[in-house]
Amino acid sequence: MKEIKVKLTFTEEILGTAPSDPEIYKKYIASKSEDAVKIEEEVATIGVDEVVNNARTVFSKNKDGELIMWDYQIKGFFKDAIGMLRNVKGSKCSKLTAYKKKVDGLVFVQPRQIEFENVIDIGDCQRPLRASTAQGERVAIAVSDTINAGATLTFTIILLNDDLEDVVIECLDYGKLRGLGQWRNSGKGTFTYEII
């Protein structure tokens, strides 16, 4: 077993991933029923600002109100990074088989709730979301809270198999290019790291 204590420093702002409306899932399911109110009617009834606020993504908070990232979000980053780096010939990740299962069962992150440090500003990022569907092209607007570049996260990675250390380090290096959180393909949430 190996423990690696890591401090991430964000080089670009990171976007929140949690829905601001805790009832969002119930509302989504209700919106799919045959007698659901149409979006246009909902906007007319409750106003554009309320619809935007309900659709906004935010950061989770701990019991003290501090902004946090969950341990499973870091594990998700490892799975995403390995999935991409498997396509790079000669990389440590390219040799890894059943990688999702290995990350789930052999890589652990502590603490469960990782507090953001050096938060100077909570911003706002609005962007279009485009999708090609069977009904044609669709465009929606996404709105997320952001935390400034320069914010940090400090956590411990526990590896039950020492052979995974090189893979984890390769993934952390990849964080300079593709980061954490939403819209990471645009460069949001990229980071540098240091092993403490």
61-77: pLDDT as tens digits:
999 999 999 999 999 99
What is the number of other CB atoms lying within 10 angstroms of the CB of residue 138? 10
Domains and CATH numbers, the chain: 2-17+62-195 (3.30.70), 21-55 (no CATH)
Q: Which of 41-50, 77-86, 149-158 shows the lowest per-residue confidence on average (mean pLDDT)?
A: 41-50
| The two three-digit tokens of residue 157, written as one number | 């990675």
Query: What distance in Å separates the CA atoms of residue 194 and residue 25, rounded to the nearest whole number?
Result: 38
148-174: pLDDT as tens digits:
999 999 999 999 999 999 999 999 999
- Select from 51, 67, 62 the least CA-distant residue to 17: 67
- Residue 176 pLDDT grade (very low, low, confident, very high; cuts 50, 70, 90): very high
Q: Which residues of 118-136 are buried (b: 16+ CB within 10 A; e: fewer)?
A: eeeeeeebeeeeeeeeeee
